[in-house]
Chains A and B, each alone.
Chain A
Amino acid sequence: MALLHIAEPGQSTEPHKHRLAVGIDLGTTNSLVATVRNGIAVCLVDEAGRAMVPSIVRYHPDGTIEVGRSAAAAHATDPRNTIMSVKRFMGRGLNDVAHVESMPYDFVDAGGMLRLRTVQGVKTPVEISAEILRVLAARAEASLGGELTGAVITVPAYFDDAQRQATKDAAKLAGLNVLRLLNEPTAAAVAYGLDNASEGVYAVYDLGGGTFDLSILKLSRGIFEVLATNGDAALGGDDFDHRLFCWVLDKAKIAPPTSEDARRLLMKAREAKELLTASEEAPIKAGLATGEQVNLSVTRDEFAQMTQHLIQKTVAPMRKVLRDAGLAPEDIKGVVMVGGATRMPHIQRAVAEFFGQEPLTNLDPDKVVALGAAIQANVLAGNRKEEDDWLLLDVIPLSLGLETMGGLTEKVVPRNSTLPIARAQEFTTFKDGQTAMAFHVVQGERELVSDCRSLARFELRGIPPMAAGAARIRVTFQVDADGLLSVSAREMSSGVAASVLVKPTYGLTDDEITGMLREGVDRASDDMHARAVREQQVEADRVIEATTHALEQDGDLLNADERAGIDAAIAELRRLVSGDDPRAIKKGIDALSRVTDEFAARRMDKSIRTALAGQKVDEIQV
């Protein structure tokens, strides 16, 4: 029997028509599921009242799969089959992941996305993530008493197409209908209702269990743009636990502890850290295997002191991200805190000091991303009336484009375009009679393809033979609301078409994305020079190609001297092309075109004579 919930005035749904939609925060360390009930976004809890599911999956030899808290215990005894932090592997190749050698997993490098060998066979990160999503979906269906219409799943703002696609695939595998992928900082901002607030620039400080992400969001006309992201993929609340744990070992003069003792002390350290959020002092008491008793006490100030260097590690990215966005701390209108670690008072103090304002902390920082996703899911599922219907838009993080002749990038969809978006651009053939064209889809801000990220390649075949430059090939880029890209090409006269859904084998690392954004700005003048050189090189190649072709066809129109002059100009231009002075190449092109002027005129006459031969004057249409 369905239980009822209170709707907004005038918005009761018809019986059986209420669509159950959830928001899912698929985190590196912990995952959560939330929904909007009685007009309020709430996280759904298990039988014990816990909202967080540790993002840990254990494969047992008997074919059963364990997810969450109970799987965590096996991390020490069965590390190979107990996968933690699988999010780090989503859409990544083995070469993209740092410190693989220190991880306890049995990686399989099959090209493309990495895989892990477990007792239940080889698993992709997509399959492992799907297990976590299944658990969350089952909890949601049990809590809501019905089948889910759909889910909004959050991803880090810097996730590229490969990582987003992998997340979507995991949801599909778990039987979830993905309404939208939403950037995590955007979700946090939505949870705080900033989308209804005044326009401006906001910072989201997200210190999770093992990752630190900082995002600068700009809100204008209901659209959140991600202006810049930065962070540290290996910094989180766990590092604070570990620092306190080391302090305990030092204070209690414990030689390297047994792994059982280490685990117990680490747990005590974490408890003490959590206690210090509310009190000035916390006890650390434990009995060791040797029979020794640890009986210590740590004050809030001591803890702040010993972890100061960790706080500093979050300050550097704050500076950097503001510099990338071209902003000063006082330009930031509000600061949202995300992640359990931001409960630590000295972190809040450091952030408040840096931005010169108190950060927003009144929502549970562990839940805020899931809550924002739930609010978005409720809207997308159609549970709100039309007049109330706002649609939250996201933007693409890095420009999308094509490689053109000479290894240059032609940007088709500029960065920060709002999604969904479709953009078309016409391209043409480079050679006479060219019947096929190769397309190389790239992502990045730089002018040269070699500095951007390769996303996909495809070919258009069956172009009817035409003179160079006569074919019109329309290339359409389409990015859906989740930031997933498909590219299609169509030759306009014949209608032949080809397309590709971008499902690249590798992803960009966070550093790559921030690095690419920064380089795009820093290197603008270098890039302009490089572009100028490449453009002239392409033009020179085209002129040489055309002249050589003409000489083959109509070389008999020239006497030996004229021929030698043209050959010399071609040779000179070939020499110049290998250099990097755009003006010299331009001069060479001009020189070649001067010596071929007369030749071109004679060819023109000849072709007119040929065309006219055998026709009466009055049949020629002018």
Chain B
Amino acid sequence: MSVTLSTSAAKHVSDFMAKRGKGVGIRLGVRTSGCSGMAYRLEFVDETHDDDLVFESHGVKVVVDPKSLAYLDGTELDFVREGLNEGFKFNNPNVKDACGCGESFNV
């Protein structure tokens, strides 16, 4: 079981954390809401919880809670540029269908 970052995502996360000046890593998660049932969470982590699973990818700590991991196993977080827009994208093999916006999905 694992969750990884692409090199580009890892580089950007490191940059953002350096500018933010604190934090141990990033948290990937899911919660039930959104137009297709589930929604992604992407946050900075200042403290991990006891039951959190921590992966290390390209030098960045990736924190996932056990419930979310079931939906995220095998996911690679990528950083992409689309025209002027740029940001993170979840490449999640578990997803059956996603809403058009990409912010929520179904497994």
Q: Distance in Å from the Cβ of A485 to the closest Cβ of chain B?
A: 38
- Asked if residues B44 and A39 are in contact (CB atoms below 8 Å), the reply is yes
Interface residues of B in 23-63 (CB under 8 A from A): 26-27, 29, 33-35, 39-47
Looking across the interface, which residue of chain B has its beta carbon closest to that of A6?
B42
Taking CB atoms, residues of chain B closer than 8 Å to A39 are 16, 20, 44
- Asked if residues B103 and A9 are in contact (CB atoms below 8 Å), the reply is no
- Asked if residues A6 and B43 are in contact (CB atoms below 8 Å), the reply is yes
- Asked if residues B102 and A6 are in contact (CB atoms below 8 Å), the reply is no
Once bound together, how far apart are the Cα atoms of A163 and B103, in whole Å?
A: 41
Taking CB atoms, residues of chain A closer than 8 Å to B86 are 3, 143
Taking CB atoms, residues of chain A closer than 8 Å to B45 are 9
- Asked if residues B33 and A9 are in contact (CB atoms below 8 Å), the reply is no
Once bound together, how far apart are the Cα atoms of A602 and B40, in whole Å?
A: 90
Interface residues of A in 219-276 (CB under 8 A from B): none
Count of residues in B whose CB is under 8 Å from the partner chain: 36
Taking a contact as CB atoms closer than 8 A, the residue among B29, B39, B100 that contacts A1 in the complex is: B100
Interface residues of B in 64-107 (CB under 8 A from A): 80, 82-90, 99-104
Interface size range on A against B = 20 to 34
Given contacts A15-B103, A39-B20, A40-B20, contact A6 B84 (CB under 8 A): no
- Cβ of A46 within 8 Å of any chain B Cβ, yes or no, is yes
Given contacts A2-B103, A6-B44, A142-B84, contact A14 B34 (CB under 8 A): yes
Taking a contact as CB atoms closer than 8 A, the residue among B33, B43, B89 that contacts A7 in the complex is: B43
Once bound together, how far apart are the Cα atoms of A286 and B44, in whole Å?
A: 51
- Cβ of A8 within 8 Å of any chain B Cβ, yes or no, is yes
- Cβ of A145 within 8 Å of any chain B Cβ, yes or no, is yes
- Cβ of A44 within 8 Å of any chain B Cβ, yes or no, is yes
Given contacts A6-B43, A14-B39, A145-B85, contact A1 B19 (CB under 8 A): no
- Asked if residues B33 and A15 are in contact (CB atoms below 8 Å), the reply is yes
Taking CB atoms, residues of chain B closer than 8 Å to A6 are 13, 16, 26, 42-44, 88
- Cβ of A139 within 8 Å of any chain B Cβ, yes or no, is yes
Once bound together, how far apart are the Cα atoms of A11 and B44, in whole Å?
A: 9
- Cβ of A103 within 8 Å of any chain B Cβ, yes or no, is no
Q: Distance in Å from the Cβ of B87 to the closest Cβ of chain A?
A: 3
Given contacts A14-B33, A15-B35, A44-B84, contact A4 B43 (CB under 8 A): no
Once bound together, how far apart are the Cα atoms of A451 and B72, in whole Å?
A: 70
Looking across the interface, which residue of chain A has its beta carbon closest to that of B34?
A15
Taking a contact as CB atoms closer than 8 A, the residue among A1, A16, A47 that contacts B84 in the complex is: A47
Looking across the interface, which residue of chain A has its beta carbon closest to that of B13?
A6
- Asked if residues B42 and A144 are in contact (CB atoms below 8 Å), the reply is no
- Asked if residues B101 and A2 are in contact (CB atoms below 8 Å), the reply is yes
Given contacts A2-B102, A8-B44, A15-B39, contact A144 B85 (CB under 8 A): yes
- Cβ of A12 within 8 Å of any chain B Cβ, yes or no, is yes
Q: Distance in Å from the Cβ of B80 to the closest Cβ of chain A?
A: 7
- Asked if residues A139 and B84 are in contact (CB atoms below 8 Å), the reply is yes
Q: Distance in Å from the Cβ of B18 to the closest Cβ of chain A?
A: 10
Taking CB atoms, residues of chain B closer than 8 Å to A326 are none
- Cβ of A609 within 8 Å of any chain B Cβ, yes or no, is no
Chain B positions within 8 Å of A, measured between CB atoms, are 12-13, 16, 19-20, 26-27, 29, 33-35, 39-47, 80, 82-90, 99-104
Q: List 17 A-B contacts (CB under 8 A).
A: A1-B82, A2-B101, A3-B88, A4-B89, A4-B102, A6-B44, A7-B43, A8-B44, A9-B44, A14-B34, A15-B34, A15-B101, A15-B103, A16-B103, A37-B87, A139-B84, A145-B85
Additional 10 contacts, C-beta under 8 A, given A7-B44, A9-B44: A2-B101, A4-B88, A4-B90, A4-B102, A7-B42, A7-B43, A14-B39, A38-B12, A39-B44, A44-B84
Chain A positions within 8 Å of B, measured between CB atoms, are 1-12, 14-16, 37-40, 44-47, 139, 142-145
Q: Report the 5 A-B pairs with minimum CB-CB distance, sorted nearest first.
A: A3-B87, A15-B34, A15-B103, A1-B102, A143-B84
